[in-house]
């Protein structure tokens, strides 16, 4: 939601998502929320860093947190990876989206790759205008998605292990063409990398939140991803 105003009494309200410029009774509170999240999760500071060693450490921490979450998922009832909560992406759809994020924001924008994205990537509808290589009918298994994620993670880990400050500050070598993301030209390599790491962290939080609800049988789960 953008440019939304709520007037009246609000009790027991929960706001969960990417929040910015939030004003409560005349006070902009987003900065307070972000500061508290940084205090609770110092990894957020690492993945916003400009230092290669800190970025690598932050990525490894996020990757380890994903591994723990996926181990938890495997202990849940069969099919939990396909269940949606409140119309949001299921866990497997989220993982497929992160495959796409890696393909476009890291391989394309940081490594100058002209290879098409992984066909089973998941994106919002407005991205499909730019990406003709995606297969909307694809239905990969969890193991297939995780195998791709493992290769991508190892590739990014190796790159972060050798990248320099100068390389990070250089303009992103985005290939010519209409493919996503069209607004990456003019950004630095670091800015594009920050997108990848932020997406990894934010979607991890969304997945943990939804798995918590799936694990509580009293809370209704809406929809299915196939």
Output the pLDDT for position 44.
96
DSSP of 135-149: -TT----HHHHHHHH
Does an H or E element contain 14, and which?
none
160: Cα separation from own chain's centroid: 18
Q: Which residues pair with 220 in a beta bridge?
A: none
Residue 215: which pLDDT band, with cuts at 50, 70 and 90?
confident
Residue 75 phi/psi, 5° resolution?
Answer: -85, -5
Output the pLDDT for position 183.
86
Give the 3-state DSSP-derived string for 73-132, with helices as H, strands as E and coil as C.
HHCCCCCHHHECCCCCCCHHHHHHHHHHHHHHHHHHHHHCCCCCCCCCCCCCHHHHHCCC
Residue 221: which pLDDT band, with cuts at 50, 70 and 90?
very low
Output the pLDDT for position 12.
63
| pLDDT reading at 2 higher than 80 | no
Instruction: Write down the domain spans for the chain.
Output: 51-214
82 burial level (CB within 10 Å; 0-12, 13-18, 19+): middle
Output the pLDDT for position 196.
98
For 46-64, write each residue's pLDDT tens digit: 999 999 999 999 999 999 9
Residues of the chain with pLDDT > 90, as a percent, come to 66
* Angle in degrees, CA 33, 36, 42, rounded to 5: 130
Structure tokens at 148: 């791709």
> In terms of pLDDT, which residue wins out, 17 or 21?
21
For 72-97, write each residue's pLDDT tens digit: 999 999 999 999 998 999 999 999 99
For 109-151, write each residue's pLDDT tens digit: 999 999 999 999 999 988 877 777 899 899 999 999 999 999 9
Output the pLDDT for position 218.
42
Structure tokens at 108: 């394309």
CATH code of the region 51-214? 1.20.120.450
* Angle in degrees, CA 200, 134, 113, rounded to 5: 65
Residue 11: which pLDDT band, with cuts at 50, 70 and 90?
low
């Amino acid at each position: 939601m953008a440019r939304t105003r709520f007037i009246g009494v609000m009790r027991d309200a929960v706001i969960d998502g990417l929040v910015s410029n939030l004003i409560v009774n005349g006070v902009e509170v987003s900065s307070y929320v972000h500061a508290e999240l940084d205090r609770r999760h110092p990894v957020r500071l690492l993945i916003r860093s400009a230092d290669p060693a800190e970025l690598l450490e932050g990525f490894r921490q996020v990757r380890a947190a994903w591994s723990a979450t996926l181990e938890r998922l495997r202990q849940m009832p069969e099919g939990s990876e396909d269940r949606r909560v409140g119309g949001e992406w299921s866990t497997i759809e989220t993982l497929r989206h992160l495959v796409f994020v890696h393909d476009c924001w890291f391989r394309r924008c940081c490594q100058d790759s002209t290879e098409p994205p992984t066909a089973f990537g998941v994106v919002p509808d407005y991205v499909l205008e730019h990406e003709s290589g995606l297969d909307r009918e694809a239905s990969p298994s969890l193991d297939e998605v995780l195998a791709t994620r493992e290769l991508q993670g190892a590739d990014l880990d190796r790159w972060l292990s050798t990248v320099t400050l100068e390389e990070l500050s250089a303009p992103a070598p985005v290939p010519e063409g209409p493919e996503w993301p069209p607004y990456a030209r003019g950004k630095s390599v670091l800015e594009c990398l920050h997108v990848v790491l932020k997406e990894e962290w934010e979607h991890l939080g969304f997945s943990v939140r939804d798995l918590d609800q799936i694990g509580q049988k009293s809370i209704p789960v809406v929809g299915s991803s196939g």
